[in-house]
A = this chain, B = another copy of it.
């Protein structure tokens, strides 16, 4: 069975199964979806008497106590309820009188594979969370928060019985802080968001061609010469690791070697594979040549010194050495390296890199760390203890997940990121339907080696201002893929729930909505933003790296406050428009026709509104040619609908209009996300 067919089959199975459940479950907007859930029609009202009791609570500094305090604050912020007691286990609250009881057996050490299961019972008379570990109990709190709803004009928790546990042990989000530095507060609010959707691995990409982001006391040149002053102090790193640990999240650091090495070599050019080269921090995006010299003993002395200093900052056993995208150009060009390869019988660059990786693995072992790396590290001699991070796919000329299958068959543990590259700016649907478990026959042992997956937030085109809208809410759906049953894959229900989780993400501090509003104000230079806002509902930033083609359109210090930055991967009106087109084509639905016409009329007016503000908003001027094109397309659409037909010639014109691109010099970099459906509608009308 090919994988596409398999997916379709699963989809059908998923939705059939879904419809067989009680309809009231449909109204529950949890994400990720729990393994087992029953409604009991017995909601718990949120009142001023709400209180929390943690059974066998440890001191106030305990992880669960802090989580419970955050829970209460979130609940009161959302509901506006003035609780009498703002802390768990307050005086007078005991094992009998509390609203919410939390039970767990033991405080977990946050390592891979701990018990994260919990049960949650909400009834009109009380709420109970039971778990083996405090981390499981915290997952119960994340679920409970999302159960807040309005009932009879007041806030309440939906009455449910939930039994829940994760499908995969490794549920990660990678944040690249090298291309664009992301300050501590940005990292922290994203850790809060991860906890909300039960992600448990924060993969921290700390070095790349554009910067090295860690204070290093034994090698101060690294952050002093290669960070533009944008780095984390060691105290800040410890603070983040503790903050993550408090949320049940492991932190896996990545120091990318031997390629992606410009930052290293800006500080230590003598370790480079090209002698005499003057290295300086990269300002563009792409794959670059600077590479550590694996034949130079000083390289290993340097990495030993670095790893000795940085490994104790991180408590997790895994340590990511990158290892990706080394094209070996400087190796090929360097006669001494070629000589070394001959002497050591290393027949190609892969073998040389394996030589390098194996030496790194020994260094890391000395400091108690297990090596992981991007899939390129998987060469024949690589020890089986290495964890393989599968990432390449169609864009790299490979089958999606090809390396994942190869890894498990060769005895490696592995995680999947291909399919979860959120920087591609694809629709959430594209990520949601990718499963870490491939559609091939695997032995039980092989399947067990697939630990889970990671969404990857590469930051070539994101800044602290936009990163939240690039990660969220889409990553919540990926988190569901890692946590929930493979059968949970109904797109409509996912979208409804994604909309709700987006609101809870804002509640706990994610700035995706706020920042978009701000960007529109900035673009409009504080004039009326409604035309721009309408345009964002049908426009999406260029996908799959076609924004910043060649990596040289934007530099690291270019402005990311443009219209494309205010647009998101799933423009708001696209799905609804598509459904209206479906309804119109399939059922000649009259109300669909009316709504479609309203859409077209609205879009026709955007350019005019923008023109009224453009004289005082230079950034709006850049948007107008696009808005005018959208207006023309909409006018043709409206006319076609009105006449109930469109001529072949008009269709051709429409297709030309849709295919037209704006002047790349204005960096507009957005596409009309409803274009496909407009064409579909027109093609239907031409045949009519």
Residue of B nearest to A500 (CB): B526
Q: Which of A167-175, A332-340, A511-519 contacts B (4 or more CB under 8 A)?
A: A511-519
Q: B503 contacts A150, CB within 8 Å?
A: no
Which residues of A from 546 to 571 have beta carbons under 8 Å from B?
Answer: 554-559, 561-562
Bound-state Cα–Cα, A181 to B521, Å = 30
- Nearest CB on B from A84, distance (A): 8
Please tell me if A154 contacts chain B, counting CB pairs below 8 Å.
Answer: yes
Q: B518 contacts A514, CB within 8 Å?
A: yes
- Nearest CB on B from A585, distance (A): 31
Please tell me if A601 contacts chain B, counting CB pairs below 8 Å.
Answer: no
Q: A153 contacts B514, CB within 8 Å?
A: no
Q: Across the interface, which residues of B come within 8 angstroms of A615, CB to CB?
A: 150, 153
Residue of B nearest to A619 (CB): B80
Please tell me if A368 contacts chain B, counting CB pairs below 8 Å.
Answer: no
Interface size on A, residues (CB 8 A): 62
Which residues of A from 484 to 540 have beta carbons under 8 Å from B?
Answer: 503, 506-507, 511, 513-515, 517-518, 521-523, 525-526
Q: A80 contacts B559, CB within 8 Å?
A: yes
Residue of B nearest to A82 (CB): B558
Which residue of B61, B155, B239, B511 contacts A233 across the interface (Cβ within 8 Å)? Answer: B239
Q: Across the interface, which residues of B come within 8 angstroms of A283, CB to CB?
A: 86
Residue of B nearest to A499 (CB): B526
Q: Across the interface, which residues of B come within 8 angstroms of A83, CB to CB?
A: 557
Which residue of B153, B522, B557, B616 contacts A618 across the interface (Cβ within 8 Å)? Answer: B153
Q: Which of A71-79, A345-353, A391-399 contacts B (4 or more CB under 8 A)?
A: A71-79
Q: A150 contacts B616, CB within 8 Å?
A: yes
18 extra interchain contacts, Cβ-Cβ under 8 A, other than A66-B229, A79-B559, A80-B559? A61-B224, A61-B229, A77-B561, A78-B561, A80-B561, A80-B618, A83-B557, A86-B283, A87-B228, A150-B617, A155-B618, A183-B185, A184-B184, A185-B185, A235-B236, A507-B522, A513-B518, A514-B514
27 contacts between A and B (CB under 8 A): A66-B229, A69-B228, A76-B559, A80-B622, A82-B555, A82-B558, A82-B667, A150-B615, A150-B617, A153-B614, A153-B615, A153-B618, A153-B621, A155-B618, A183-B185, A184-B184, A184-B185, A233-B235, A235-B235, A503-B521, A503-B526, A511-B514, A513-B518, A513-B521, A514-B514, A514-B515, A514-B517
